Amino acid sequence: MTETGEMTYRRVHRASPELLFDCMTTPEHLTCFWGPAGTTTPLDGIVVDLRPGGTFETTMVGDDGGTYTMKATYAEVRRPERLVWIEPGVEGGMKTTITFRDLGDGRTEVVTHQTNVPAAYLSAEARAGFATSLDRFDAYLAGLNREDT
């Protein structure tokens, strides 16, 4: 049996829970930031069937041309508070839960909690890669906020 673990990431964004939820569930937004630094996720490589039992799929393309496809099934969709998907192809079915908590001052705390995370994803390098994807999301949101002003 392969060892698994858990990961939790917290970020506070200057945006509404609704906007953040929509960014995480709309292909036109996802293509702008999804994946770690050094990857892109073309729009035609994103599938979002936003309902429990629906498909969530992304195909990231690395700088070297290699591809990585993530296939998941939505387990819970509750706009704008909570989003849950399970990647059944990952050992044990890695589960990702994202919660959006309105802080009441124009900011939202986003908590990403993953369970049944394979050991390879728990390495310092993998965690750093995931952190760069959160940084890309921050940068994308900053651009959206500039457009609103």
What pTM was estimated for this model as a whole? 0.91
**Which among 9, 66, 20 has a CA at the least distance from the CA of 39?**
66
Ordered by start, the domain boundaries in the chain are: 7-148
Q: What are the two backbone dihedrals, phi and then psi, of residue 56, each rounded to the nearest 5 degrees? A: -130, 115
Domain 7-148, architecture per CATH: 2-Layer Sandwich (3.30)
Name the DSSP letter for residue 126.
Answer: H
Parallel/antiparallel/unpaired status of strands 55-62 and 46-48? antiparallel
* Per-residue pLDDT tens over the stretch 34-73: 999 999 999 999 999 999 999 999 999 999 999 999 999 9
Tens-place pLDDT, residues 82-106? 999 999 877 679 999 999 999 999 9
Q: Are 77 and 51 in contact (CB under 8 A)?
A: yes
